[in-house]
Chain A
């Protein structure tokens, strides 16, 4: 096991696959309530936009009869007019599971508006979805053969038809074509071959241009440049993503706070993933943030900076920075640091020590994890006597935060008990139309904290006369773990995007102190999706 982890770590690649928010983890997993119906929503994103996403809604409550889904923009033109809702189809052999397709026609921030009907009335919920093209794939071998053979047949057929048209087509019925006609036919075939060759060549140029056009629209993960400007201050310069060709441009002057912070910055030491800091830099100008670092060991760190735009479009910017040993204080406020055993020390699977003799257990550690399969990652905190910890408290409004990183750095996801969408995007998606999110344009953002210390995000009433808050939009329950009987247990709905080895950093707050449990997971290739 250890050898394999090391081998995989050595094979790590630097370039990450893009996905809006997170890295290499484009699918959306969300647990929430539409009215009285609790549900798990899984949205599997297409590789290319415009494209069709698959949505699966699993009812976690009784009495649900039907589910309707509508994809809509979160903000901007068209966000107030919905297309006809699709009735999600019940999956025959799996009660309470509904599926539908979502046609996402623009790149940018979307939401899926879900309407649930049943014995307990009607409930609504919107789940934010960042729609980006992640890659354009070359043609598969089989398809290349099929189309190649057909193309050869069509070209040969066209030339042969031209020849026949001149040779016999112009000859009176019942008579044989003259040698002169046959010669003319041959010349016509040569001309046709040249002409068709030219047309095929032009078609090829057109195809290449279209492919290049599609390639240019593929989302490239923006890079954050981190520089140590004084012995303990890190300066971060974020970059705009390549959205020049998108209908919905993504700038840097519209950031909104997520859990009260404009940026969630994660530094993870490479290799080994043996040190994590979770920080919240301050914005100095449109693209520049600063952060006073806590005391931390020297090393090369991978940088992941989570931001959310005012459109509801989330991004994770990535970078690297080499730091000397930082001599400073302890992290302050919501900041935290976590030393951990190196990956090279072997997998940490079932339990992790916390401070004061407390321990965190990963309850799924013995099961098989498969790529693409939704699962509730469950963690349990016990005190030194083995009793469930009774004093967990919200950490930035959440029961917990989970950072998932594949050991080759190809996957990075920042999750909450509600799932993978950032809370700020979730709040924007569930606002009544026209309510507006007050994003500043001068580079500083003044939107109010959407989830300041509350387990349930209560949305601000719509501004302006005559705008009542819709019942279904009034609140989004985002912290199911706190509603469960045992508050010592935290669950995160998620699906690992690819097979491989992952490190999980689970962060909770206890007695005013931020604690992190570190675990390692092995994920197998997918069996059949959706179970």
Chain B
């Protein structure tokens, strides 16, 4: 009997437990998100940066974790003697490793490539005046490679282990999506100011990232309030940066200084992502088994409608004097913004100059939300099926 049992154990995958890759994935994701938020705050408070500023080191830590994870797993699987590991691997360019390891390696290489590219970009076209540039996009795509590579490593283990995703790992996964949402807010800072919250461009920017994240977590998790939980994590983290960063002093190291900002400026009060998260969780009980394209379309429209419905009036509040306190932080300034209007940021700015342009923008936002929701659902479905 013992012999039979041990034989069964030998072919059965090990019981689910939190594998080390989950922790490294969490560390890489957290490093790049905290680094990004800190970096944006650095740019709007201190101004000048180098390759070696602390936020940049955190972003590089993400690349290092991803790269080392990849190198270790590829070397161990390709050249090691662990036959089991080889059967659980995929093959790329003759090398063997779990799929997620290759994704991490690819992400690290992309991040590495972005460094000389960005440096050359500065020399050719000038120092950064925009967050969104081709080399920065390559850096972001590389970071996403590492983040999602970590997710794939995790999901492959869990998908093999059992049908039920273990509580701990699912909790971590949902939390990491919340962490990613906090990072996305920092990256969208050029479009996220409260002055733009009554313009379509604000919503066009946010539907680029957030519906996919909510749809992904919705498709992977089986918890009733998975999206709401992720949005709550985002809310807490975003509030933390809003409340903690200004506690630290800052002095401007880059001119021209349009106004003195003696604190580290936060990236802004969290947007009301909790509303579409709740709506998606509520809708999911009905639409869980529907066609993916229909799910994407409904999720996208529901996302945009509920987001606009809550964010629009909330923007009115953010414009009011009641929000100029440490809780909502609308009195914080960026040193490179003019202290006089329109830089004073005390009234809405109509990005779209005509009503038609506004509605065209909102229509683009709706289509984008549907598309990114669909992508999130598809990636989620794929991740549920990953075996290696």
Contact = CB atoms under 8 A, between A and B. Distances in A.
Interface of A: 47-52, 70-73, 76-79, 81-84, 103, 105-106, 133, 136-139, 143, 146-147, 150-151, 153-154, 157-158, 160-161, 164-165, 167-174, 203, 206-207, 210-211, 213-214, 217
A168 B127 contact: no
A48 B126 contact: yes
Given A73-B256, A165-B99, 17 more contacts: A70-B255, A79-B256, A83-B47, A83-B252, A83-B257, A103-B48, A106-B256, A139-B120, A147-B117, A154-B110, A154-B113, A160-B92, A164-B90, A169-B90, A211-B124, A211-B125, A214-B126
Nearest to A102: B255
A143 B113 CA distance: 11
Nearest to B149: A161
A170 B133 CA distance: 35
B360 interface: no
Contacts of A167: 90
B120 A82 contact: no
B205 to A, nearest CB: 16
A170 B116 contact: no
A198 B88 CA distance: 32
A244 B383 CA distance: 50
A81 B257 CA distance: 6
Contacts of B89: 168
Interface string B155-186: 01000100000000000000000000000000
A31 B385 CA distance: 72
A164 B134 contact: no
Contact of B113 (A47, A78, A147): A147
Given A161-B106, A164-B102, A168-B89, A150 B255 contact: no
B387 interface: yes
A160 B137 CA distance: 21
A214 B90 contact: no
A150 B126 contact: no
B116 A171 contact: no
14 contacts: A48-B125, A49-B126, A81-B259, A82-B257, A83-B47, A83-B254, A133-B126, A139-B120, A161-B103, A165-B382, A168-B388, A171-B388, A172-B387, A214-B126
A82 B110 contact: no
B386 A71 contact: no
Contacts of A136: 124-125
Interface in B58-107: 84, 87-93, 99, 102-103, 105-106
B160 A52 contact: no
A258 to B, nearest CB: 24
B317 interface: no
A48 B260 CA distance: 27
B109 interface: yes
Nearest to A172: B387
Nearest to A217: B126
A177 B258 CA distance: 62
Contact of B134 (A161, A171, A174, A210): A210
Contacts of A47: 123
A178 to B, nearest CB: 13
B87 A50 contact: no
B127 A164 contact: no
B9 interface: no
Contact of A48 (B47, B109, B123, B133): B123
Contacts of B106: 154, 157-158, 161
Given A139-B124, A150-B109, A83 B87 contact: no
B123 to A, nearest CB: 7
A105 B254 contact: yes
B127 A157 contact: no
A198 to B, nearest CB: 15
B153 to A, nearest CB: 12
B93 A160 contact: yes
Contacts of A133: 126
A139 B123 CA distance: 10
A76 B259 CA distance: 13
A171 B120 CA distance: 43
A165 B129 CA distance: 38
B126 A50 contact: yes
A208 to B, nearest CB: 10
Contacts of B156: 169
B256 A169 contact: no
B254 to A, nearest CB: 5
B255 A71 contact: yes
A170 B386 contact: yes
A97 B258 CA distance: 32
Given A78-B257, A103-B255, A147-B117, A137 B127 contact: no
Contacts of B257: 78, 81-83
B103 to A, nearest CB: 6
B181 to A, nearest CB: 23
A158 B142 CA distance: 11
Nearest to B137: A203
A512 B110 CA distance: 70
Contacts of A171: 387-388
A157 B127 CA distance: 30
A52 B117 contact: no
A206 B136 CA distance: 13
B134 A206 contact: yes
Nearest to A136: B124
Given A161-B92, A167-B90, A169-B386, A137 B124 contact: yes
A174 B99 contact: no
Contacts of B255: 70-73, 78, 81-83, 103, 105
B253 interface: yes
A171 B88 CA distance: 9
A146 B117 CA distance: 10
A84 B125 CA distance: 25
Residue from B124, B128, B160, B254 having most chain A Cβ neighbours under 10 A: B124
A170 B385 contact: yes
Nearest to B127: A50
B254 A77 contact: no
B251 interface: yes
A223 B321 CA distance: 52
Contacts of A143: 116, 120
The 6 closest A-B pairs by CB, nearest first: A78-B256, A164-B90, A214-B125, A50-B127, A168-B90, A81-B257
A134 B355 CA distance: 41
Interface string B1-21: 000000000000100000000
A6 B154 CA distance: 75
B91 A168 contact: yes
B338 interface: yes
Contacts of A83: 47-48, 251-255, 257
Contacts of B125: 48, 136, 210-211, 213-214
B152 to A, nearest CB: 8
A288 to B, nearest CB: 33
Nearest to B160: A173
A225 B253 CA distance: 43
A132 to B, nearest CB: 11
Nearest to B256: A78
B134 A207 contact: yes
B74 to A, nearest CB: 12
Nearest to A161: B102
Contacts of B259: 81
Contacts of A50: 126-129
B42 to A, nearest CB: 14
Q: Which residue, of B92, B125, B133, has the highest number of chain A Cβ atoms within 10 A? A: B125
B124 A48 contact: yes
Interface in B235-260: 251-260
B90 A165 contact: yes
A214 B124 contact: yes
